[in-house]
Structure 1
Amino acid sequence: MSEQDYEYLDAPEDLSQIPVPGKLVRQTREQRGLSIEDMSARTRLTDNVLHMVERDDYLGMGEPVYARGYYRKCAEALGLNGDLLVEAYERHSGTMSPVPTIDQRPSIAYREGPGRVALAVAIGLILVVFAISALWLWDKDGAAEAAAQTAPSPVGAIPTPQPSTAPVERPARTEVDASSRNEAPMQSPLVTPAPTLAAVTAQPTPEVRPTATPQASAAAPAAAPVRPEVRVEVQGGEAWLDVRDPSGNKLLYKLLQPGSVREFTGQPPFKLSLGRADNVRIWVQGQPVEFKAQIESDLRAFFYIDAQGRVSDEVTP
């Protein structure tokens, strides 16, 4: 199908001029001489899904993201333009993707003439104020420094003592009487005599009481909830991912192209809904997650992942 076949897509209100995408897929398949089984081998879609595509069973195909993927796979297998085929599906099914709007503020237009003069006057006033402030601060600092240099010494200041150079007179030594040398030495009041053995044994032995072990005043704080890191990669083809936490918050909700990588963290268990799950690879805390058993025949998968990367079909306590 060429670009000229879709020139009428610029007029979405006239749906009668837009070919039905499923009918176009079926006609092209028959012209190529291909059967449903041949298409299934080329697109890796089941026969049931291909029949829904050719019948334009939009409700049976599920979410619009899955239907767009089915039409793109058929377009690749038949040599059609996938973007135009998906656009035809969106026009007929009423699932046109909303075009994001950008809030663009108007640019500021500078006025000519008196506006420039006013700007120059304002800049001049600012420079004058800055110069006056700098001069005032400089004069203030200079006056403070001069006052500090000429200030007298404070009253009552204690002078620094100077060492004396006068000779020190020592008292004359007196002779000690020989008889006094045989007297008992004087006991210094600062020296306490050592206790005798009898006095030590007579003192009572202090009672030793066991020290009470303090009890824990409060229980240990509760451990913080585990928030594992999850890494998702898309390989081989595009895939749809819908990842939510137990509260229903969307951690990842997007159609990813081949080579895309997304990393996130949150409160497990995570609820995952995948389209083209065969193109998705998942790691939890750096460990790969095996979920091939959850991939259905139409390449969709619905399962849960806990904090250790374990897979289950329903939430485990």
Structure 2
Amino acid sequence: MSSERHDAAADMAEPNTLRNPGETLREAREARGLSIAEVAQELKISRQAVEHIEAGRFDRLPGDTFTRGYIRSYARLMGLDPNRLAVEFDRHRGIEVRERPVSSIARVKMPNGSGRSIMRWSTLLIVLVLMASAWWWYEAGRPVSEPLLPMEELESELLLDDVEVDAMTLPEAIAKQTEALPADLLAPEPEAPAADPLATEAAADASVAPQETTPVADAQTELAAPVEEPATAEGRGLQLSVAADCWVQVSAVDGRVLHSGLLRDGQALNIDHDGALNLVIGDRSAVTTIRFQGNPVTLPPQSQSGVVRLRLGE
């Protein structure tokens, strides 16, 4: 009975007689001749934390987990066993270290045949939905094509386009007469080759010239082959000739376009007009001669694009 009491008293007194791991660390530091400041600098902690560890004032440190880490680092710095000092710290603090049994993982059961069938059908359904979505997105993004017009309506639209182009280049009275002609007279011969636009305009001028029943606009455009003398005997208006293909646009100051098109190599442009003109030349180097109201015109320097814009008569 007395022996049992002695053992119980020894067990109760054992926690108080356990050695503080901080004392072991302090003795190792002093044996190496290091100061507290040097240890704190190596461990990257404060000097007060090192003092609390060596004095056993662990309740002034930020928790047992951090304190245990400090002790391990301190032990490695001193060349001691960090695990042994960590166990001494746990015993000193009265922390019981228990080994947790490793629980086995239950065996995973493979799905039965019905589960595989459901998974297969679900996958197939998802694939079908994705394909349908992709098809719908593709169809929605395609432009809606316009229905094809019958041949008669298509020919009528082409004739209307031809009339509008003629109205831009010919005088106003000629444009009105062209619009008044029946569609069957305006339709081109199916086997005839397409005529050059400049030749068509010259032929239209030749066919309309004898008619004097309607007034002609004050600005008339004429394209002809290059000649030695200006087209207008009095030297009125604009005379321009080119030695290479060149796009030229001539318009009055009120915005009316008197000519807009491509002059071929060797062609000349003659415009009978009294007022000022706005002139745009696509290629300055292609122009050989240019006169306005009988006087030669000096073109400004060519820009990087080669286009020249100027106003004549002001």
Is the structural similarity TM-score above 0.5?
no
State the structure with more CA Rg: 2
